[in-house]
C-alpha cells in the first residue's frame, strides 16, 4: 500500500500517542453515514468518528434528493445534527476521496474506514440517440431543482416543447413528474432552488408520460408517492384500462404483496374516475405500461436535439432463474413526440482507487458490510474497511433502510474489534483526525467543519425568510465556501 511522505511524517508524530482511542472515518454524510456514526458512538465509548464528505454541506440525499415539497422527510437532519454535535464526532466537508486524499491514506490514518458515499452516477440505457440534447438523468434534474452545486447550471429547456417523457416508474420518476406538474404557487413556499422555480414558472410542459417496461402490477413506486401525484389539483390522468388487466401470474404476484396490491387499486380507481376527455388548459399525466425505449429520435429542425423516442411493446414472461416476470420485446413499435426526456432507470456507484468493486452489480463486494478483496471466489476480508448504504447493497430502499443497513455494518465492526481484527498489530495509535487535518492542510485543502455548515444553514434560512420559504439554498461552490469561511 503506497503511503505519501507527508503521511509517514504524521505517523511518526502521532505513533507515541496513547492507543486508548479507536479512530473511525466515515466517507459520505448521507443517511447511511450518519446512522453508522450514531451506532458507532453508542456502541463504543472509545470511538472518535470523523464524517468526511466531498460537499461543503452534510446530509447527502436528504438535502439534494428529497423533493422540496416533502419537508417532513427532511426532519431527520435534526437527528443527524445531534450526532455530529457529539464531542467525539466531527464533520469535515469539501474533502474528496481520490482527489484530496486517497483511500490508502485514510486506511493508514484510521483504525476503521467505512465507505458510505452512495451512488452519484447513473445507469445508461445504451440505446441510439442517448447523447442528444434534451435528454437528462433524473438524478441531474433532481439535483438541479434541489440546488446541488454540481447541477445548478443544468438549464433544462422547458419552453420548446409541451411534452416530457420520464423513463422509469419508481419514486424518483414520480417526484420528477410531480415537480413538473404541480402548480408553481405551491412550490414557491418550499426550499426549491430559485433558478428551478423561475424556469418552472415559465415552463411550457403540459403533458408528462411515465413509461415502464412492465405492467401496473409491477410498478416500483410506493402508494404514498402515487397518491400524492394523483392528488394534484386540476390534473388529467390517463391510464389504459387494458394495461390494468391482470394475468394469473399477476394475481399471484399481487396476492403475496400488499403494497403492490394497494398500488394497483389506486391506479384502477384513477383510471375509472378520470374524465374521458382532457379539457383545454389542464395538465396531463399519462401512465404508459408495457413499453421499453428502443431509440431516441433527433429533431429535423433542431440539430442534435431530441424530438421523440421509439418504444417497443413488451409482454411479460417468467424468468426461470429468479421466478420474476420480466419484460420481453415483441418487435412491435410506437413513436412518441417530446422535447424533454428524463431517465429514471437507476443510480450507479463509482469505484475509487484501491477499492474492490463489482462493476456488474455496481457495489463493493462485501459480507455484512465487511469489504472483500474480490467479488467472488476465496476472497479475503479487507482489514478495517467496511461499507454501508447504496455502495453496500445497491441503490434501493428508503431513508430508514439505511438505519438497518448501518446496524448490520456496525455489528460486523464490533465483532471484529472484539476479535482484535481492527487495531494495529504494532499496538501504535493511528493519527486519526489530527493526522487527516494536517495532511489536508499541507495540500491546501480548505475544509468545511460543521461550524461552517451552520453558517451556510443560517444564511440560507435568513434568505428564505425574506421570500416566505424555509430556506433559500446557496447553489454555487464559491458561495457555499465563502459563507462557510466567514
Report how far apart, in Å, the C-alpha atoms of 342 and of each of 157, 163, 208 are. Answer: 12, 11, 10
Torsion angle, alpha carbons of 269, 271, 273, 278, to 10: 160
Give the SS3 label for residue 50.
strand
Contacts of 270 (CB under 8 A, 6+ apart): 230, 237, 239
Does 214 carry a binding-site annotation? yes
Does 382 carry a binding-site annotation? no
Report yes or no: 339 and 160 within 8 Å, Cβ to Cβ.
yes
Exposure on the CB side of residue 115, measured as CA atoms within 13 A? 35
Helix (H) or strand (E) holding 320: none
Contacts of 273 (CB under 8 A, 6+ apart): none
Rg (CA), the chain: 24
Report yes or no: 259 and 93 within 8 Å, Cβ to Cβ.
no
- Distance (Å, rounded) from C-alpha 429 to C-alpha 109? 9
Report yes or no: 112 and 413 within 8 Å, Cβ to Cβ.
yes
Give the SS3 label for residue 330.
strand
Does 474 carry a binding-site annotation? no
Give 263-285 as a 3 state SS string: HHHHHHHHHHHCCCCCCCCCEEE
Long-range contacts of residues 5-10, Cβ cutoff 8 Å, at least 24 apart: 6/439, 6/442, 7/105, 7/108, 7/109, 7/435, 7/439, 10/109, 10/431, 10/434, 10/435, 10/438, 10/439
Beta-bridge partners for 207: 163, 284
Does 213 carry a binding-site annotation? yes
Nearest residue to 44 (alpha-carbon basis) of 36, 54, 52, 34: 36
- Distance (Å, rounded) from C-alpha 144 to C-alpha 138? 10
Does 397 carry a binding-site annotation? yes
Does 390 carry a binding-site annotation? yes
Alpha-carbon torsion 50, 52, 57, 63, what sign? negative
Contacts of 245 (CB under 8 A, 6+ apart): none
Nearest residue to 21 (alpha-carbon basis) of 83, 101, 89, 84: 89
Does 399 carry a binding-site annotation? yes
Does 263 carry a binding-site annotation? no
Does 237 carry a binding-site annotation? no
Does 97 carry a binding-site annotation? yes
Does 105 carry a binding-site annotation? no
Does 398 carry a binding-site annotation? yes
Does 311 carry a binding-site annotation? no
Helix (H) or strand (E) holding 322: none
Map grid coordinates 445534527 to a residue. Answer: 81
Binding residues for FAD: 32, 61, 97, 390, 397-399
Residues forming the annotated binding site for NADP(+)? Answer: 169-172, 213-214, 225, 397
Provide the annotated binding site: 32, 61, 97, 169-172, 213-214, 225, 390, 397-399
Amino acid at each position: 500500500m503506497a503511503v505519501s511522505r507527508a503521511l509517514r511524517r504524521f505517523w511518526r508524530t502521532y505513533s507515541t500517542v496513547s492507543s486508548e482511542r479507536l479512530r473511525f472515518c466515515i466517507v459520505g454524510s448521507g443517511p447511511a453515514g450518519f446512522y453508522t456514526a450514531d451506532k458507532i458512538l453508542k456502541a463504543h465509548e472509545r470511538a472518535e468518528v470523523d464524517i468526511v464528505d466531498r460537499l461543503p454541506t452534510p446530509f447527502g440525499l436528504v438535502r439534494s434528493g428529497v423533493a422540496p415539497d416533502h419537508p417532513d422527510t427532511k426532519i431527520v437532519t435534526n437527528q443527524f445534527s445531534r450526532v455530529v454535535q457529539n464531542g467525539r464526532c466531527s464533520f469535515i466537508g469539501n474533502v474528496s476521496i481520490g482527489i484530496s486524499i486517497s483511500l490508502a491514506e485514510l486506511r493508514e490514518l484510521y483504525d476503521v474506514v467505512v465507505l458510505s458515499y452512495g451512488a452519484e452516477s447513473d445507469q445508461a440505457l445504451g440505446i441510439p440517440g442517448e447523447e442528444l440534447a434534451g435528454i437528462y438523468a433524473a438524478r441531474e434534474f433532481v439535483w438541479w431543482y434541489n440546488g446541488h452545486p454540481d447541477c445548478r447550471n443544468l438549464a433544462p429547456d422547458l419552453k420548446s416543447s409541451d411534452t416530457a417523457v420520464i423513463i422509469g416508474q419508481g419514486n424518483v420518476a414520480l417526484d420528477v413528474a410531480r415537480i413538473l406538474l404541480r402548480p408553481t404557487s405551491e412550490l414557491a413556499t418550499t426550499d426549491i432552488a430559485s433558478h428551478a422555480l423561475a424556469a418552472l414558472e415559465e415552463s411550457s410542459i403540459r403533458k408528462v408520460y411515465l413509461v415502464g417496461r412492465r405492467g401496473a402490477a409491477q410498478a416500483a413506486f410506493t402508494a404514498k408517492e402515487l397518491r400524492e401525484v394523483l392528488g394534484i389539483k386540476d390534473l388529467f390522468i390517463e391510464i389504459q384500462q387494458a394495461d390494468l388487466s391482470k394475468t394469473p401470474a399477476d394475481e399471484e404476484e399481487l396476492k403475496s404483496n400488499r403494497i403492490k396490491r394497494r398500488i394497483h387499486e389506486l391506479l384502477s380507481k384513477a383510471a375509472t374516475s378520470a374524465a374521458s376527455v382532457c379539457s383545454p388548459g389542464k395538465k396531463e399525466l399519462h401512465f404508459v405500461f408495457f413499453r421499453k425505449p428502443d431509440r431516441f429520435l433527433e429533431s429535423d429542425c433542431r440539430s442534435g436535439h431530441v424530438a421523440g423516442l421509439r418504444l417497443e411493446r413488451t409482454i411479460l414472461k417468467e424468468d426461470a432463474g429468479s421466478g420474476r416476470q420480466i419484460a420481453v420485446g415483441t418487435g412491435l413499435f410506437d413513436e412518441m413526440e417530446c422535447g424533454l426526456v428524463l431517465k429514471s432507470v437507476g443510480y450507479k456507484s463509482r469505484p475509487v482507487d484501491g477499492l474492490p468493486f463489482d462493476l456488474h452489480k455496481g457495489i463493493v463486494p462485501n459480507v455484512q458490510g465487511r469489504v472483500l478483496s474480490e467479488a467472488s471466489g476465496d476472497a479475503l476480508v479487507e482489514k478495517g474497511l467496511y461499507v454501508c448504504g447504496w455502495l453496500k447493497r445497491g441503490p434501493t430502499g428508503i431513508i430508514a433502510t439505511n438505519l438497518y443497513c448501518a446496524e448490520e455494518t456496525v455489528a460486523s465492526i464490533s465483532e471484529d474489534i472484539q476479535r482484535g481484527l481492527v487495531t494495529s498489530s504494532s499496538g501504535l495509535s493511528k493519527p486519526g483526525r489530527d493526522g487527516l487535518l494536517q495532511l489536508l492542510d499541507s495540500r491546501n485543502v480548505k475544509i468545511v467543519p460543521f461550524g461552517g455548515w451552520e453558517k451556510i444553514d443560517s444564511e440560507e434560512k435568513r434568505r428564505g425568510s425574506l421570500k416566505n420559504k424555509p430556506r433559500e439554498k446557496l447553489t454555487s461552490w464559491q458561495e457555499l465556501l465563502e459563507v462557510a469561511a466567514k
